[in-house]
Amino acid sequence: ADPPYPGTSARYYSDHPDFDGEVDHEGLLSWLATYDGWALSTSAAALPDVLASCPPGVRIAAWTRGERPTSSYRPLNGWEPVIYLGGRPQWREPADRRVDTLVHHSRPRTTDPDRVIGSKPAAFIWWMIELLGAAPQDTLDDLYPGSGAVTRAWNLITNEANPTNGLEP
C-alpha cells in the first residue's frame, strides 16, 4: 500500500480525483492483516506513529531515494521507510539474496500524464515485490493505485511467467 503519508493528503492530493482526505492508517493496517504478506510505504516523520499501530513482527526496509531540491533549515530527509510483514521466505544463494534496502535516486516523471505526486519508480516496485518474495501465481492488490505503476509492474511479472496470459496456444 502506498497511501498518502500521514499529514500530507490535503497538501499534495486535494486535486487528485481519488482524494478522500486523510487515510485511516489504523483501519488500513487492520485490512492489511488479512493478507499473507504486505508492504506499506510511509514517511520517516510518520514512522513512529504508524509503527505504534502495527502488529508485532513487522520489519522496516529503507529506500534511499536522495534529497529533494528544496530549501530547509533542517537536514533534508533522503530516505523512505517501507514497513512489511509476511510474504514468502525463499532460500537464495549469497549472490542472489534479497536485501531490505534499495538505493535508487529517481527524478519526477514530469512528462508522464499519469504521474501522481509520491508515485514510486519501477526499480522501487520491483524491489518491493522481491522483498515480499511474491511469485507470479500470487495475487497482488494495489490498494492505492495512483499512477497504476504497481499494477503495470505486476502485469509484466505475471505475463513473463505466463506469456499466453492464461490462454491456450
Cβ atoms 38, 88 nearer than 8 A:
no
Strands of the sheet with 79-86, listed across from one edge: 37-41, 79-86, 59-64, 101-103
2 vs 113, more confident: 2
Q: Which residue has the higher pLDDT, 20 or 83?
A: 83
Tens digit of each residue's pLDDT (9 = 90 or more) over 58-87: 999 998 887 777 788 888 888 889 999 998
3-class state of residue 96 by DSSP: helix
> Whole-prediction pTM value?
0.78
Provide the pLDDT for residue 135: 86
Residue-wise pLDDT for 93-112, tens only, equals 766 777 787 777 666 656 66
